[in-house]
Structure 1
Amino acid sequence: MNSLNLSEDVLKGVETLSDEKLIAENVFKHIIDCCFQVILKRKTESDLFENKAISSVDTIALKQTYSAFIVFILETMKINYDQASIKNLLEEHKLSQNRIDFISNYFKEYRVAIRKVLSVTNFHFPHIIDVNWRLDFFMKSNSVEKLNQPVYIINLTTEQEENIKGKVQFACTLEQLQDLVFKLRDAQKQIERSSIKS
């Protein structure tokens, strides 16, 4: 399993959720619900402050705790942390068993939905899954009587992580195609060198 890297600020924010004097039970439940709903794009951060019970909590502490728990959810779900590991982490940061169980139920209910949101909101480039090409030959143009120039039409089929296919098409001369192939071979060699070193 991948290791979980959470900053000290995030861990302090999560630990604040254990302070039952600072964060009453109804406020705690509202914060947890709001964090999950914001990630799922069902609510916005402003919904956090609409609950009247929230007014009893220091605004700065509330914002820090809210932000920290959002990061906690996203980081644990990004590496697909299991329920037992999440519970252990919450125990380490002094949350009561009732609060751990409450949070755990949210993870259980929304795990798949959050992982789906994370897979859609990533910054990965599309993968090339197929390449087709054809050679066109221009005999003449409007301005020049004889041209006799080959042009390569390249079609790339791409796929995003969520299985959405796309097409990229471009035309190039023989020299441009040779340059592209040379650069791809160079990239391949660089990758091979890197994998040997590591």
Structure 2
Amino acid sequence: MEVSESVMKGLQTLADPSLFDLKSFILFTEVAFDSLLSPRGESALANQDLKHIDPITLKSCHTAATTFILEGIKHNVDKSTMGSCLEDLRFSTERVDIFYTSFQKNKTALECLLSSIDSCPPHVTDVTWRLEYCLKVGLLLLLFYVNALDISCLFSQQNSHVHKVNQPSYLISLNTEKGGTSSHINFNCTMEQLQDLVGKMKDAAKSLERATQA
């Protein structure tokens, strides 16, 4: 079970008896689980018995604890795995037992919560494309489809509201996957629209890169 450095630091702070005595630790653990399952969320931290703890410290520990809890639910960790991880983060045996007892008590409810959340959008696994070019030849429309492998040609009766004559367009197919299920998103666009789309995707990629390096 791997966690980020910020989560490890937050849990190490939570394990420090000079900051969280046993009474505060027990209460904080209850609040952490309650904040995940109740509409109150982080407002549960406003408990009067936790007022003596610095608010910034309290919030960072809360973020670390709830992240750790959800990771434990997602990976279905047992007591040995969780205990080993928490002991490495300076939790005493008593605190490990308290934390894991709350984990087991709330596990079913948290599993139901996670299964009901479907906020992850489909992700793109592949892209295929072809270039369509329509030429008018007499009373027929000659459609050229060009992809990376070959050039194909189809004849169609003249139908101006379907095909744009003498104007190239791209037919794009995005292969997506969500929850193990594959699907396709198909659309067509002009060269200018495709260039605009590619430009925006490059901007998004640069923004994401900057965010991960911050």
Shorter-chain TM-score category?
0.5 to 0.7
CA deviation digits over 1:62-89, x for unaligned, max 9? 1110111011101111122222101111
Give the Å deviation of 1:91.
Answer: 0.8
For residue 110 of structure 2, what is the aligned residue in structure 1? 114
Q: Output aligned runs, 1:38-57, within 5 Å.
A: 38-41=35-38, 43-51=40-48, 53-57=49-53
Q: Relative to structure 1, is the Cα distance of residues 28 and 125 closer, same or farther in structure 2, using a 3 angstrom cutoff?
A: same
For 2:29 and 2:7, the matched residues in 1 are separated by: 15
Is residue 31 from structure 1 mapped to residue 28 from structure 2 by the alignment? Answer: yes
Where 2:15 maps in the other structure, the secondary structure is coil
Give the residue type in structure 2 aligned to 1:120.
Answer: S
Question: 1: CA distance between counterparts of 2:25 and 2:116?
Answer: 29
**CA root-mean-square deviation:** 2.5
In structure 2, the partner of 1:18 is 15
Displacement after TM superposition at 1:124 (Å)? 5.1
- Quick one: which amino acid aligns to residue 45 of structure 2? L
Counterpart in 1 of 2:93?
97
Contact 1:35 1:69 in 2 (8 A): yes
TM-score (norm 1): 0.58
- Give, as a single letter, the amino acid of the residue that structure 1 aligns with 2:46: F
Q: How many residues align?
A: 130
1:187 and 1:90 map into 2 onto residues whose CA distance is 41
Q: Is the Cα–Cα contact under 8 Å of residues 35 and 66 in structure 1 kept in the other structure?
A: yes
CA–CA distance in structure 2, aligned partners of residues 21 and 36 of structure 1: 22
In structure 1, C-alpha distance between the alignment counterparts of 2:47 and 2:52, rounded to whole Å:
12
Deviation at 1:6, TM superposition (A): 1.4
Q: How does 1:23-172 map to 2 (within 5 A)?
A: 23-41=20-38, 43-51=40-48, 53-123=49-119
Which one-letter code corresponds to 2:28 in the other structure?
I
Which consecutive residues of structure 2, in runs of 5 or more, have no partner in the other structure? 123-161, 163-171, 177-181, 183-214
Q: Alpha carbons of 1:124 and 1:64: their partners in 2 closer, same or farther (altered >3 Å)?
A: closer
Instruction: For 1:55 and 1:37, locate their aligned partners in 2 and report how far apart those are by CA, in whole Å.
Output: 18
Q: Does residue 2 of structure 2 align to residue 5 of structure 1?
A: yes
Counting aligned pairs with the same residue, the percent is 29
Structure 2: how far apart are the matches of 1:44 and 1:125? Answer: 24
User: TM-score normalized by structure 2?
Assistant: 0.54
- Asked if structure 1 preserves the Cα contact closer than 8 Å seen for 2:34 and 2:44, the reply is no
Contact in 2 for aligned 1:83/1:108 (Cα 8 Å): no
SS at match of 1:17: helix
Instruction: Return closer, same or farther for 1:26/1:42 CA change in 2, 3 Å cut-off.
Output: farther
The 5-angstrom pairing of residues 169-184 of structure 1 reads: none
Please say if residues 12 and 91 of structure 2, whose CA atoms lie closer than 8 Å, have aligned partners that are also in contact: yes
Distance across 1 between alignment mates of 2:120 and 2:18: 43
- 1:39 Cα deviation (Å)? 1.0
Q: Deviations over 1:79-111 (max 9, x none)?
A: 222221011111111111111110010111111
One-letter amino acid of the counterpart of residue 111, structure 2: R
Q: Deviations over 1:7-36 (max 9, x none)?
A: 101011011111101112221111111111
Structure 1 unaligned regions, length at least 5? 127-174, 176-182, 192-198
Which has the larger strand fraction? 2
Conservation of the 8 A alpha-carbon contact between 2:32 and 2:66: yes
